Chain A
Amino acid sequence: EVQLVESGGGLVQPGGSLKLSCAASGFTFSGSAMHWVRQASGKGLEWVGRIRSKANNYATAYAGSVKGRFMISREDSKNTVYLQMNSLKTEDTAVYYCTRPSDDGMDVWGQGTTVTVSS
């Protein structure tokens, strides 16, 4: 079964840091790009960023709202992608999803992990 499981969410103070993980199974993780998408409560989806595969030099791209604060990395030996979040703001409060792109669209999504930035 193809599956993505996020973890690492929690409560953090403004200015703090948090690292999310997404464990993949059921497909060839090393050959796949991976994306992070977030959703604030009652709001729409917002793309956070993506990391490509080793064959594409692990190239990354980020939304303007997180560029310079967030960093995506991956550990293919553990089938895991990470989202390191620094200098967190209250507006970063959201459910964070990892997702896998296919030729047709983002066809696999995790269940999400909740990040709350509050003092």
Chain B
Amino acid sequence: QPVLTQPPSASASLGASVTLTCTLSSDYSTYRVDWYQQRPGKGPRFVMRVGTGGIVGSKGDGIPDRFSVLGSGLNRYLTINNIQEEDESDYHCGADHGSGSNFVWVFGGGTKLTVL
């Protein structure tokens, strides 16, 4: 099954842009990855899914246009433009693998985004 790796922290100034990275383990370069936002004290919120061709399907409810994704090689990126205070959150990436009783859903360790 894939392993997803995320840097533990990132920071950006109000109004700036930031790109968060989720790296798939080798041999899984074709996998799609989901991004989830988790504000402090809240449950996760679906942002969008990304494959090698970019976004897959639709964004989650209420996700602003400032959020975009890109996929390249083993990396799946989430870019946030014009960062706002409400974007300060933990961001998790996840991917499913296998089928039937061997199905698993794996998550990265999450990246804590601090808005300066």
Contacts and interface: CB of A to CB of B under 8 A. Distances in A.
Given A47-B106, A110-B43, A112-B43, A105 B101 contact: no
Interface residues of B, number: 28
Contacts of A97: 43-44
Interface residues of A, number: 23
B46 interface: yes
Interface stretch (B23-31, B79-87, B107-115): B107-115
A105 B109 contact: no
Contact of B56 (A50, A60, A104, A110): A104
Contacts of B57: 103-105
A106 B34 contact: yes
Contacts of A50: 103, 105
Interface of B: 34, 36, 42-46, 48-49, 56-58, 60-61, 92, 94, 98, 100-110
